[in-house]
């Protein structure tokens, strides 16, 4: 199979007019994705071997995602995005309760810390801030004044495909 196919090629060319990006060589048709299968605007079906982890364990377009109660709750949360848990909502609390209920049995009775973010970049940034804070606390416990904040990082070492 050769990619990109005609409709995808036209849409990818249009995208390049607006942004510098290197997307996969096909355009996904979200409405027609099912389970582990991506659908393309050109009518192909491609098994998604890497995107179905974490937030999408149930796959694409699971029937329960379209139940009226779920859609209503989702629209409420999406249209009024709060900085949870800074401004706690009942929906946020229910989400964290569910995550703790789903924790592996080996973690039962243990303190489980959950931190949810929107992207890998946010996760890395917040992890770095967390480690700075831990380091500063450790230095203070040792009676030392925390000084400079430096990080060692590697170019091209995050989210490469």
Number of neighbours of residue 8 by Cβ within 10 angstroms: 21
Residue 46 lies in a domain: yes
Residue 133 lies in a domain: no
Residue 109 lies in a domain: no
Residue 42 lies in a domain: yes
Residue 127 lies in a domain: no
Domain count along the chain:
1
Domain hosting residue 16, numbered range = 6-66
Q: List the pLDDT tens digit at each of the 161 positions of the chain.
A: 799 999 999 999 999 999 999 999 999 999 999 998 999 999 999 998 877 666 667 889 999 999 999 999 999 988 988 877 778 888 888 888 888 888 888 888 887 777 777 777 888 888 888 888 888 899 999 999 887 767 777 776 655 44
Q: Residue 159: what pLDDT?
A: 52
Residue 142 lies in a domain: no
Identify the CATH number of the domain in which residue 13 sits: 3.90.1150.10
Q: Residue 122: what pLDDT?
A: 83
Q: Residue 78: what pLDDT?
A: 87
Residue 71 lies in a domain: no
Of 43, 41, 35, 1, residue with least CA distance to 23: 41
């Amino acid at each position: 199979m050769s990619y990109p196919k005609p409709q995808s090629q036209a849409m990818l060319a249009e995208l390049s007019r607006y942004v510098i990006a290197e997307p996969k060589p096909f355009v996904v048709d979200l409405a027609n994705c099912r389970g582990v299968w991506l659908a393309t605007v050109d009518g192909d079906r491609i098994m998604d071997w890497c995107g179905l982890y974490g937030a999408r364990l149930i796959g694409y377009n699971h029937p329960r995602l379209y139940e009226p109660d779920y859609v209503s709750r989702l629209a409420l949360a999406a249209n009024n995005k709060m900085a949870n848990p800074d401004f706690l909502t009942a929906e946020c609390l229910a989400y964290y309760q569910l995550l703790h209920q789903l924790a592996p049995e080996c973690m039962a009775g243990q303190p489980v810390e959950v931190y949810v973010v929107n992207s890998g970049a946010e996760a890395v940034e917040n992890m770095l801030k967390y480690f700075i804070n831990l380091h500063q606390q450790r230095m203070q416990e040792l009676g030392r004044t925390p000084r400079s904040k430096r990080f060692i990082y590697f170019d091209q070492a995050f989210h490469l495909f």
